[in-house]
Amino acid sequence: MKPTPVTIPILLVQRMLSGWGARGRDCTRPLDEAGIAPALLAHRGACVSADQYVTLFRVLIERLDDEALGLLSRPLKCGSFALCVRAAASASTLEDAIRRAAHTFRLLQDDLCIGRTREVGLACIELRFSNAAAAANPFTHELFLRVFWRLFAWLIGGRLPIARFDFAYAADVSSDFHRMVFPAPHRYAQPRTALWFDAALLQSHVQRDEQAVLGFLARTYQEVIIPERSADVSGKVRHHLQRSQPAWPDLARTAEALHMAASTLQRHLLDEGTSFQTLKNQLRRDLAVYRLQTSDIPLAKLAGELGFADTAAFQRAFKSWTGSPPGAYRNHARNPG
């Protein structure tokens, strides 16, 4: 079974471009190179594919020679993250890896450093800003928190379960996306942006050799900015819905397939901050966006594949997801003019 296309809200594209556009640069060229129609920036509900998002990330880094995307006062030259990775990979434990990566990053950048602290049973990795202008952009917090979390998780085998995330700014319209990118409880308007995890994991052994480091660096962009599909109940539901296409089973059939009562499934999803219908709509939206951007499939056929009774129902649903009818969305996505 092919992996489900992941879609990224246009808000995150706008935020990724914030460093590029801060000095009056035209965003058209990097968007074109990533295959993203500039017209989509004006559509609040628009989405782009994960591949387009990763390509934009790479293009901006290469054009700026800055792995911080112009978000900090001094460029983080290409290769800086690789130095942090190699420094951390030479450690024996996660605690030592965090210390080495933080030390290396401090040598490379003045606006931001990586701090460490503890509370009862929990360890914390936090972002400490010394430049108020850099700290004012939420995407700067999101980018570096995600990058270092994924690095440290990878070092100890790929999993670093998070107890909670703190963000040093108020919740905004990206909060729903936060739940996918940062899958743990959130607290906003906190003193610092941070992630918290079981302190016992600090003694986890670093498991990566030189060959593994080379492989990680070769796919860094995908590793650090694209959300992983959840391994919890939400992820299992999404996987089952995708595998069952074009049947699109209901809640009861899905619960039966997952060997639990429908009420139990609903309770688990509620605990994870979602619902069966939300997951179903998100999957249908992701598939619809991908197909509209990459194919000439008739709307009637696409509506049938996505489990809608007719084209009109699909059009209403798609407009509620993205703010645009599917035909207009396809035109904007594929025709920059």
Q: How many domains does the chain have?
A: 3
Of 164, 196, 225, which closes a domain?
225
d(CA 271, CA 25): 44
- Would you state the pLDDT for residue 335? 63
Cα 58 to Cα 31, 63, 81: the distances in Å are 11, 9, 13
- Would you state the pLDDT for residue 3? 57
Domain extent at residue 26? 7-64
- Would you state the pLDDT for residue 177? 66
pLDDT averaged per 10 residues, the chain (length 337): 70 90 85 85 79 91 94 94 95 96 96 93 96 92 93 91 92 66 87 96 93 90 70 82 87 93 90 84 87 88 91 90 82 64
Q: Per the domain annotation, does 75 fall within a domain?
A: no
CB atoms closer than 10 angstroms to residue 268: 18
318 with 181, same domain? no
Of 201, 225, 249, which closes a domain?
225
- Would you state the pLDDT for residue 2? 55
Does pTM surpass 0.95? Answer: no
**Residue 189 CA to chain centroid, in angstroms?**
21
156 with 115, same domain? yes
31 with 91, same domain? no
